[in-house]
Amino acid sequence: MSDDRFISVQNISKHFGAVRAVDDVCFDIRRNEFFSLLGPSGCGKTTLMRMIAGFEEATSGDVHIDGQPMGHTPPHERPVNMVFQNYAIFPHLTVQQNIAFGLRKEKLAKKELNRRVEEALEMIKLPGYGPRAAHQLSGGQRQRIALARALIKKPKVLLLDEPLGALDKKLREQMQLELRALQKSIGITFIFVTHDQEEAMTMSDRIAVMSEGKALEVGPPAQLYERPTSHFVADFLGSMNFFDGRVLKAEPGMALVETRELGHVRVLSDNAGVVPGRDVIVAIRPENIAVSTQKPKGDINSVKGRVDTAAFLGDRSNIYVMVNDGRDTVLTVMQNLGGAASRIGAQSDDIWLSWNDKAGILLPATAR
Ligand SMILES: Nc1ncnc2c1ncn2[C@@H]1O[C@H](COP(=O)(O)OP(=O)(O)O)[C@@H](O)[C@H]1O
Ligand SMILES: [Mg+2]
């Protein structure tokens, strides 16, 4: 059994009547990987997770864990444990009793049990909290206890379904870094569900982006962000400008595309299917478009425009620029170094947008 295919999701589907909650999903998860399922609400993340855990029976397909097909294996016989968003902490019990609940079936001697609980409390950075009443804890602490209760059973795989969803932003960001560090230090495979793209990118080794029951793309965060291959993923991660275009010229590694908004654009292309006459979408990240008051020199893609609006965000500004005689808008983002972004934002004369050949991403027009 290779560590690259520690968990193998094989053509798994789940239909609820006419709803294809999960639709023929395939991917492999590596041993000790932090793997996230990312997608909007209703795209099938929880259903897929529940099938991996054994709480939901697949309509077709199967999951293999550590080389074993799971088939009808009930949840408690799978080497997985699950932490839910609405962490089921018992408020009338102590922290110690809540965590020990995870081991109730193992009939451990009291001394060993206490040792395991304390070990788990140290992992979640709440040493000595055992005697406290659970209802006295903050939301963040309660979520840590839920985590400890799952970790104490030493599962090979921990499934976390939007575990930070109930926490406020600051605490959530802190817990993201802690969870990631914890996962790396204990060496358990994590499958993490979230609808928050920044959360997924912060924490994950790899992400599966889901939409309408399908896993559209699987890869490391930077790859999905920089080289998406579908309109949905390009749009879902970060901000993106999309331009409809038609291929004029296709050379090895490079295509010349005619767009309404930007005129002619040179785009990197490693796609053999890109041929003259083909309708395509050119996608460009706002941060890859430079703004200048002078026409850029040299052989670079550029277009003339005027500032429409500028949203000042402190460290940077989102600058919306009208192009094509005011008929279209392009979003750029500019770092506010020494007030540069505020000066450009206040500019009323013509400005220039420019970007290099590597900035454009060529997507199939049918992917929209
Ligand atoms: N038990 C169920 N019965 C019927 N439809 C369900 C059931 N569970 C989920 N669904 C539907 O399946 C789809 C995916 O749901 P879910 O997996 O909860 O998505 P997510 O976790 O990504 O928000 C949704 O359309 C949801 O309404
Ligand atoms: Mg869900």
Instruction: With a cut of 50, say whether residue 267 has pLDDT above it.
Output: yes
Q: What per-residue confidence (pLDDT) applies to 82?
A: 86
**Domain-wise residue ranges, the chain:** 3-235, 239-367
Q: Could you tell me which of 242, 280, 307, 289 has the C-alpha nearest to residue 362? A: 280
Ligand 1, atom 2, residue with closest C-alpha: 16
Residue 65 reports pLDDT greater than 50 = yes
Ligand closest to Cα of 47 equals 1
Query: For residue range 195-245, what is the model confidence (pLDDT) as tens digits?
Result: 999 999 999 999 999 999 999 999 999 999 999 999 999 999 999 999 999
pLDDT at 311 over 90: yes
Q: Is the CB of 19 under 6 A from ligand 1?
A: yes
Check residue 314 and give its pLDDT. 92
Check residue 105 and give its pLDDT: 79
Assign 85 to helix, strand or coil. coil
- Nearby residues of 198 by Cβ (< 8 Å), 6 or more positions away: none
Q: Would you say domain 3-235 falls under CATH 1.10.357.10?
A: no
Pocket of ligand 1, candidates 13, 14, 15, 19: which has the most ligand atoms within 8 Å of its Cβ, to mutate? 19
Q: Give 286 Cα–ligand 1 centroid separation in angstroms.
A: 34
Give yes or no for residue 26 CB within 6 A of ligand 1.
no
Cβ neighbourhood burial of 224 (10 Å; 0-12, 13-18, 19+): buried
Q: What is the pLDDT of residues 162-203, one digit of tens each?
A: 988 878 888 889 889 989 999 998 889 999 999 999 999 999
pLDDT of residue 367: 47
Residue 12's pLDDT band (cuts 50, 70, 90): very high
Beta strand 263-269 with 68-69: parallel, antiparallel or unpaired?
unpaired
Of all residues in the chain, the percent with pLDDT exceeding 90 is 72
Is the minimum distance from the CB of 45 to ligand 1 under 6 angstroms? yes
Q: Residue 85 — pLDDT band, cuts 50, 70, 90?
A: low
Nearest C-alpha to atom 21 of ligand 1 is from which residue? 46
Quick one: pLDDT at residue 87? 63
Residue 305: which of 318, 315, 295, 297 has the closest Cα? 295
pLDDT of residue 332: 97
- Ligand 1 pocket member 47 (CB < 6 A): yes
Q: Taking all residues of the chain, what is their mean pLDDT, rounded to a whole number? A: 92
Can you give the pLDDT at residue 203?
A: 96
211 Cβ inside 6 Å of ligand 1: no
Distance CA 164, CA 355 (A): 38
pLDDT at 368: 47
Q: Does domain 239-367 have CATH number 2.40.50.100?
A: yes
Q: Is the pLDDT of residue 86 over 80?
A: no
Indicate whether 42 pLDDT > 60.
yes
Quick one: which ligand is closest to 210's CA? Answer: 1
